Chains A and B, each alone.
Chain A
Amino acid sequence: MASLEVEGVTVAYGGNLALDGVGITAERGRVTGLIGPNGAGKSTLFDVVSGLRRPSAGRVLMDGRDVTRKGPARRARHGLARTFQRLELFGRLSVRDNLLVAAELGPGRRHAARLVEEIIDRIGLAEVADVLADALPTGVARLVEVGRALAVRPTLLLLDEPAAGQDAGETERFAALLRSLAGDGTAVVLVEHDMGLVMSVCDEVHVLDLGKVIAAGPPEAVRRDEAVLAAYLGES
C-alpha cells in the first residue's frame, strides 16, 4: 500500500493557484522524486503534506488514513518527518541536541541518546556533533536536518533540497544514504534540483509545473517527456 497519497490538492494564494489539483503517491521502500522549476509548488506541496498549510481542496492520506484535517504534530506521530528548503534548525542548540529533541519526541524516545549517536555515525556528523547549529555551513546544516528527521524514525520522509550546497563526493555519499533509507522500508520523497542525483536514486519521478503535475513515471521516461522538456527549457 502506498505510504502517501495526495489527491486533488489545491492551494490558492490570493487569486493565484500555487497547487492545482495535484495528485502524487509515494511508496515504502522507494525514493520518489518531485521536480519542477522554481515556483512550481514543490515546497507548498510539502507544507500541505506535513500539515503546515491546509489545502482549499483535496485530501492527504498516510497509510490509507485521511490526515487532511490533522495538525503537523499528529502527522509526525503517524510517521512523517521532513526537512525544509529554508533551513529550520534549532540554531542555539548543538547538532547533537537538535537530533536529541527529535529523538525524544519520536517513537525511539526510550533510547533517544543511543539513537542519536547511531544517526550521527550513519550520516557522518561526529565532527560537528557539539557545534551550535547556527554556526554550520549550509551543506552540513542540510545534512543535520536530514539527521534530525531520521531521529523520529519516520516511515515517510520528505526531503526538500537536501543536497544543495554539497560537493560531488558528498552528493555521492548522500545518494547511498537515500538508497539505504529506502532499503529500510521508508517512503522517501525527494525535492531536488540536482538532476544527476534525482535520476540516479529515484524509483519514480513526479514533475510539477505551475502548480500541476505534468508528468510522472520512471526517471528515464520522465527525462524524455515532451512536456517536461518544455517546462525546463521553455517552449521551442
Chain B
Amino acid sequence: MDQFLAFTIVGLSTAAIYAVIGSGLVLTYVTTGVFNFAHGAAGMLAAFAYWQLSDGWGWPVPVALAVVLLVLAPALGLFIERVLLRPVQHLGEAERMVMMVALLSGLIAAARWIWDPNVARPLPTFFADRTPIHWGSVTITWHQALTMAVAVAVAAGLWALLNRTRTGAEMRATVDDRALAGLTGADPVRANRVAWVLGTQLAAVGGILIAPAVALDAQQLSLLIVSAYTAAIFGRLRSLPLTFLGAVVVGCMESYLTGYLPQNDYLPGLRLAAPALLLFLALLLFPHRRLRGRDRRLAPVPLPSMRGALVFAGTVVVFGVVLATVLQGTDLITLGPLLPLGVVALSYVPLTGYAGQISLCQLSMAGIGAVVWAHLGAHGQPWALVVAVLVAAVAGALIALPALRLSGVYLALGTAAFTVVLDRWIFTLPSFHVLGVRIALFEQGSLEVHGPSMLGLRLDGERGLMVFSAVCLALVSLGVAALRRGRFGRRLIALRDSEAAYATLGGNLLVARVAVFALAAGIAGLGGALYGMQMRTITADQFNLVAGLPIFLIAVIGGLGYVGNGLFAGTAFVGPNILLDLASWTPNLVAIAPALAGMGLAGSPDGIVTRFRREWDPVARDRVVLPALLGALALAWLLRILDAVNGWVLLAGVLVVAFALREYAAARLRSPAEPEVPVEWWGVRRPWRAEDGEVLARGIARG
C-alpha cells in the first residue's frame, strides 16, 4: 500500500506538469484554432534556456526563472503569433499545422545546434536541499509539492482570467466567431496574442518543472508533450477541467506502469509508448468536431499528361545516372538517400495531396519496408522487395481502419502517436513468434541491409543502387501520374472535396481511404527498403517521428498535388548534404533548413514545384534554348567524367549556364521576333492567318 501511495504521489506530481502544459495547449487552441504541435518544443527550449542562465552562467534561480518566463517565453509566443501564423491566417488548417510542425522541427534542430547533445546537463530539482515532507507513510519532495501547487494556481488563474476579465471574455468570444467578436468591439488579434503568450508561458513552466526528472534532451523533452496532448484530448481540446482530469489519468498510469509492469524484454518499451497508445485510444474514443468550419482551400491537383510523365520519368533516370557517375567518395554516401527519400515523399502525393489525409507516419512505413527487406532480402531476392512493399501496405491499411474516424489535425495526431508507439516499443522488441512465424525487427540494435540481385547483377555498390533507386522513383512517379489520370485518383480527389457528395453517389468511403493508406504505405515501404540499401545499416532511430517531420515539411513545400514532388523533395531534403563536410556548423544548418523552408510556406502556398515549372516553362518550350541547355549539361557531365573539372565547379557552372539560358528564353518570349502589326494591316503588311478571323470576331463581340 505504501508503495502504491508513493507511485500515486509521483504520478500526481507528473500529472500536475502535464496539466499545466495541456492547459496551455487548450488555451491556444480554443482561442486561435491552431493546434500547437510545437508546444512541447517551446517547453523544451525554456528548460534549456533556464539551465543556461541558472547552471551555465550561474545566475540566481529567481532571476533566471523571471527572464525565461517573463521575457523569453512571451517573446517566443509573440514570434509565433506575428511571424509564423499571421501570414498563413488566410490559408487553410493544413498550412497552419505545417507552420507548427516546422516550428517543432526547427526548435529541436536549433536546440541541438546551441546545446551540444553529447554533453550531459543535469538540472537540479527545486528545493533539493530541503528534507522531504513526511505525511504518515507518504513522502513528498518539495519539488513535487511545488508542481502540484503550480497546477492548482494555474487552474485558479485561468478560471479567473476566462471568467472574470475582459480579455478572458474576448478570448472566449473569439473561439465562437472571430469576425462576430470583432464586430462587438472585442479585439481578436489581442485575444490571439494573449493566448500565445500565456500558452507559451505555461509550456515553459511545464518544461522547467519536468526537466529535472528526465534528461535535458531536445527530442525527448519535446516529445514528452505526447502525454500532455493526451490530457488535452481528454478535454476534447476545449475543457480545462477535463484536461486536468486527463492529466491525472496519464500521469498516474505512467507512474503505475513504472512500478508494476513486469520486467521482461518485451515490456519496457510499452511503458515509454504508453502515453502515445493512450493518445491514440483517446482520439478514437472521444467524439470531437473541428473547431472551425470546413476547410475550403485545398491543394491544386493538376492533371499530368502521360507524355509529360514519361519525359519526367526519363529525366529522373538520367538524373540518377548522372549522380551515380559524377559523385565521388563520401558524397556518394551522403547523397545516397536522395532518391529513396524522394520515393517516401512521393507517397504523400496520393495520400495527402489527392485524398487529403494528413499522416505523420510515412517514415515509419518506410521503416517497416526497410526491416522486411533487411531480413528477407539478405541475399538480394527481388521477391523480398515485393513482400516489403506488401507488408508496409498492410500496416498502412491497419492504421487506416481506426483512423477512419479522424481527420485533419486529429488524424495528424493519431498517426504521430502511432509512429511513437512503433519507434518506442514495436521497433525495440526482440524477435517473437506469431502463429509459428518468427517476426524479427531491429533486433534491439542495428540491421545490415544489402542490395538486390537483378538480371544477373548484384547491386551492392552505391552507384548501382543510386541508379536502381532512380528507376524505382521514375516508375513510382509514372504510377502516381497514371493514378491521377485514372478512376481511383479521381475518386480520391472527389472523396476529399466532398465526402457527402461522394457517399450519396454510391462511393464507399471506407474502401477508398483504406486503399489509399495502403497504397501510400506501400510506396513509403519501397522508399524505406531503398533507403536501407543505401545506408547499409539501419537503426530504429532513423525512422522515428522527429526524423520524419522534415520529409513531411519538404513534401508540403514542394506542393502535394504534383507528381514531380518526389524528385523535388528528395533533392531539396538530401541535396544540402553536400554542405555537411564544409565546416563544423554546416550540419546544423542542414538540419534546420527544412524547418526554415517550412516556415516560408506562405510565400508559395501552392508549392515550389508549380513555381519552378512556371519559371522554367519558357526553356522547355524554346526550340533553341532547350537543346542548348541539354548540350551544356551533357558537356558538363562529360568534363566531370573525364575528371577535367571538380564537383563544385561542375555544380556552379551548370547553375550559371542554366539560369542564364532561362533568362534568355524568358526574354525571347517577352519580345517576339516579329513586330506587332496593327489589326487594320493584317493581311496587308503580313499574311492573313487562319486564326485571325476568330480573333476579330471575339474583339467585335466584346466591343
Q: Which B residue sits closest to A107, measured CB to CB?
A: B506
> From residue B335, how far is it (CB to closest CB) to chain A in Å?
35
Q: Which A residues are CB-close (under 8 A) to B584?
A: none
Q: Which B residues are CB-close (under 8 A) to A104?
A: 487, 490-491
Asked if B490 contacts A97 (CB within 8 A), the reply is yes
Binds A, one of B365-373, B414-422, B495-503, B613-621: B495-503
Complex Cα spacing A152 to B300, Å: 26
Complex Cα spacing A90 to B492, Å: 10
Interface residues of A in 55-102 (CB under 8 A from B): 71-73, 75-77, 80-82, 84, 88-94, 97-98, 100-102
Asked if B301 contacts A101 (CB within 8 A), the reply is no
Asked if B490 contacts A80 (CB within 8 A), the reply is no
B305 within 8 A of A: no
Q: Which B residues are CB-close (under 8 A) to A106?
A: 505-506
Asked if B493 contacts A52 (CB within 8 A), the reply is no
Please judge, given known A-B contacts A72-B504, A73-B507, A92-B301, whether A101 and B498 are in contact too, CB under 8 Å.
no
Q: Which B residues are CB-close (under 8 A) to A76?
A: 503-507
Please judge, given known A-B contacts A105-B507, A152-B506, whether A90 and B494 are in contact too, CB under 8 Å.
yes
B508 within 8 A of A: yes
Asked if B493 contacts A81 (CB within 8 A), the reply is no
A212 within 8 A of B: no
Please judge, given known A-B contacts A100-B490, A101-B490, A101-B491, whether A92 and B506 are in contact too, CB under 8 Å.
no
Q: Which B residues are CB-close (under 8 A) to A148?
A: 501, 505
Q: Which A residues are CB-close (under 8 A) to B490?
A: 93, 97, 100-101, 104
Asked if B505 contacts A105 (CB within 8 A), the reply is yes
B628 within 8 A of A: no
Asked if B503 contacts A93 (CB within 8 A), the reply is no
A33 within 8 A of B: no
Complex Cα spacing A77 to B502, Å: 12
Complex Cα spacing A159 to B505, Å: 14
B459 within 8 A of A: no
B298 within 8 A of A: yes
> From residue A73, how far is it (CB to closest CB) to chain B in Å?
5
Q: Which B residue sits closest to A47, measured CB to CB?
A: B500
Complex Cα spacing A50 to B490, Å: 23
Interface residues of B in 449-496 (CB under 8 A from A): 487, 490-491, 493-494, 496
Which residue of the partner chain, among B298, B498, B506, contacts A88 with CB atoms under 8 Å?
A: B498
Q: Which B residues are CB-close (under 8 A) to A41?
A: none
Q: Which A residue sits closest to B485, measured CB to CB?
A: A97
Asked if B498 contacts A90 (CB within 8 A), the reply is yes
Which residue of the partner chain, among A51, A73, A88, A98, contacts B508 with CB atoms under 8 Å?
A: A73
Interface residues of B in 405-441 (CB under 8 A from A): none
Asked if A105 contacts B506 (CB within 8 A), the reply is yes
Asked if B494 contacts A80 (CB within 8 A), the reply is no
Asked if A92 contacts B298 (CB within 8 A), the reply is yes
> From residue B498, how far is it (CB to closest CB) to chain A in Å?
4
Q: Which A residues are CB-close (under 8 A) to B301?
A: 92
Please judge, given known A-B contacts A92-B493, A101-B490, whether A72 and B503 are in contact too, CB under 8 Å.
yes
Complex Cα spacing A52 to B504, Å: 8
Which residue of the partner chain, among A80, A91, A94, contacts B504 with CB atoms under 8 Å?
A: A80
> From residue B66, how far is it (CB to closest CB) to chain A in Å?
48
Q: Which B residue sits closest to A74, measured CB to CB?
A: B506
Interface residues of A in 39-58 (CB under 8 A from B): 50-52
Q: Which B residue sits closest to A78, measured CB to CB?
A: B506
Interface residues of B in 230-254 (CB under 8 A from A): none
Complex Cα spacing A98 to B494, Å: 8
Which residue of the partner chain, among A73, A75, A80, A93, contacts B493 with CB atoms under 8 Å?
A: A93
Asked if A89 contacts B504 (CB within 8 A), the reply is no
Q: Which A residue sits closest to B506, measured CB to CB?
A: A76
Q: From DSSP, what is the main secondary structure of chain B's interface residues?
A: helix
Please judge, given known A-B contacts A73-B508, A105-B505, whether A84 and B500 are in contact too, CB under 8 Å.
yes
Asked if B494 contacts A101 (CB within 8 A), the reply is yes
Q: Which B residues are CB-close (under 8 A) to A98?
A: 494
Q: Which B residues are CB-close (under 8 A) to A94?
A: 303
Q: Which A residues are CB-close (under 8 A) to B508?
A: 73
Asked if A88 contacts B501 (CB within 8 A), the reply is yes
> From residue B309, how far is it (CB to closest CB) to chain A in Å?
17
Complex Cα spacing A122 to B382, Å: 53
Q: Type the 1/0 row for A149-182, where 1 means its CB is closer than 8 Å to any CB of B.
A: 1001000000000000000000000000000000
Asked if A81 contacts B501 (CB within 8 A), the reply is no
Complex Cα spacing A73 to B506, Å: 4
Q: Which A residues are CB-close (under 8 A) to B496?
A: 92
Which residue of the partner chain, among B300, B487, B497, B509, contacts A89 with CB atoms under 8 Å?
A: B497
Asked if B505 contacts A93 (CB within 8 A), the reply is no
Complex Cα spacing A229 to B507, Å: 41
Name the residue in B493, B494, B496, B502 with the highest tally of chain A Cβ atoms < 10 Å from its Cβ: B494
> From residue A87, how far is it (CB to closest CB) to chain B in Å?
9
Please judge, given known A-B contacts A89-B501, A90-B498, A104-B487, whether A77 and B493 are in contact too, CB under 8 Å.
no
Asked if B504 contacts A50 (CB within 8 A), the reply is yes
Asked if A81 contacts B505 (CB within 8 A), the reply is yes
Complex Cα spacing A104 to B494, Å: 12
Complex Cα spacing A76 to B508, Å: 11
Q: Which B residue sits closest to A93, measured CB to CB?
A: B493
Which residue of the partner chain, among A73, A101, A152, contacts B503 with CB atoms under 8 Å?
A: A73
Interface residues of A in 177-235 (CB under 8 A from B): none
Asked if B505 contacts A102 (CB within 8 A), the reply is yes
Complex Cα spacing A51 to B506, Å: 11
Asked if A91 contacts B507 (CB within 8 A), the reply is no
Q: Which A residues are CB-close (under 8 A) to B505?
A: 76, 81, 101-102, 105-106, 148-149, 152
Q: Which B residues are CB-close (under 8 A) to A101?
A: 490-491, 494, 502, 505, 507
Interface residues of B in 248-281 (CB under 8 A from A): none
Complex Cα spacing A104 to B300, Å: 23
Q: Which B residue sits closest to A133, measured CB to CB?
A: B497
Complex Cα spacing A76 to B296, Å: 25
Asked if B497 contacts A82 (CB within 8 A), the reply is no
> From residue B427, how far is it (CB to closest CB) to chain A in Å?
37
Q: Which A residues are CB-close (under 8 A) to B502?
A: 90, 101
Q: Which B residue sits closest to A100, measured CB to CB?
A: B490
Q: Which B residue sits closest to A102, measured CB to CB?
A: B505
Q: Type the 1/0 row for B542-581, where 1 means its CB is closer than 8 Å to any CB of A.
A: 0000000000000000000100000000000000000000
Interface residues of B in 502-560 (CB under 8 A from A): 502-509
> From residue B632, how far is it (CB to closest CB) to chain A in Å?
37
> From residue A11, how far is it (CB to closest CB) to chain B in Å?
16
Asked if A92 contacts B497 (CB within 8 A), the reply is yes
Complex Cα spacing A101 to B303, Å: 15
Complex Cα spacing A148 to B300, Å: 21
Q: Which B residues are CB-close (under 8 A) to A51?
A: 503-504
Q: Which A residues are CB-close (under 8 A) to B507?
A: 73, 76, 101, 105
Complex Cα spacing A82 to B487, Å: 22
> From residue A74, how far is it (CB to closest CB) to chain B in Å?
8
Complex Cα spacing A100 to B502, Å: 12
> From residue B639, how far is it (CB to closest CB) to chain A in Å?
45
> From residue B108, how far is it (CB to closest CB) to chain A in Å?
34
Q: Which A residues are CB-close (under 8 A) to B501?
A: 84, 88-90, 148
Complex Cα spacing A102 to B508, Å: 12
> From residue A114, how far is it (CB to closest CB) to chain B in Å?
15
Name the residue in B301, B491, B506 with the highest tally of chain A Cβ atoms < 10 Å from its Cβ: B506
Q: Type the 1/0 row for A124-168, where 1 means its CB is closer than 8 Å to any CB of B.
A: 000000000000000000000000110010000000000000000
> Can you list 16 A-B contacts (CB < 8 A)?
A52-B503, A77-B506, A81-B505, A84-B500, A84-B501, A89-B498, A91-B298, A91-B497, A92-B493, A93-B497, A98-B494, A101-B505, A101-B507, A104-B490, A105-B491, A152-B506
16 extra interface residue pairs, beta carbon distance < 8 Å, beyond A51-B503, A52-B500: A71-B503, A72-B503, A73-B503, A73-B508, A76-B503, A82-B504, A84-B500, A88-B501, A89-B498, A90-B494, A90-B498, A92-B496, A94-B303, A101-B491, A102-B505, A106-B506
Partner-A contacts on B (CB < 8 A)? 296, 298, 300-301, 303, 487, 490-491, 493-494, 496-498, 500-509, 561
List of 9 A-B pairs having minimum Cβ-Cβ separation, nearest first: A76-B506, A88-B501, A88-B498, A72-B503, A90-B497, A90-B494, A105-B506, A101-B494, A72-B504
